[in-house]
Amino acid sequence: MFVHEGKPCRLDYAIACDRSWRTRSAQVAGWIGGQAVEVALAVDDAGRWRLNGAGCPAAAGCVDVDLNFSPSTNLLPIRRTGLAIGDEAEVRAAWLRFPDFTLEPLEQRYRRIAAFRYRYSSAGGRFVTDLQVDEAGFVVDYPAVWRVEASA
């Protein structure tokens, strides 16, 4: 649970990927205040995205889903690209915006700067931050946005 504009929120989500860490589908369910949220995303083999059954041509060709409300989706390109320290990759993600749940493309860049640290940038470099990850690639610190409270 979290708070957005003074309203309690809960968003559960599930993402299905193929063996290469490419997104195949995602579901989001929960609520913002008293408003129910139900979102279904799917992408076909040709890279065509659908949001609640409707086509999203702007997101065509995106490989990863990026849930604007969770840093967990940074794991997808981190695992898929398998960058060595010093290497970088450009990624085009289908960005599910919060709180309006629209889908749009977002150009991103990941540069691995240490064993457990990536420099992440988006919006043509207008947004830049360093992400700290664990051994599996899950984000444990997204400065000024999110930080893991406990881990095994």
* pLDDT tens-digit map of 90-137: 999 999 999 999 999 999 999 999 999 999 999 899 999 999 999 999
Instruction: State pLDDT tens for residues 22-73.
Output: 999 999 999 999 999 999 999 999 999 999 999 999 999 999 999 999 999 9
- The answer to pTM > 0.85 is yes
Report the alpha-carbon distance of residue 64 to residue 62 in Å, rounded: 6
Q: In 3-state terms, what secondary structure has residue 79?
A: helix
Ramachandran angles phi, psi of 64, nearest 5°: -110, 150
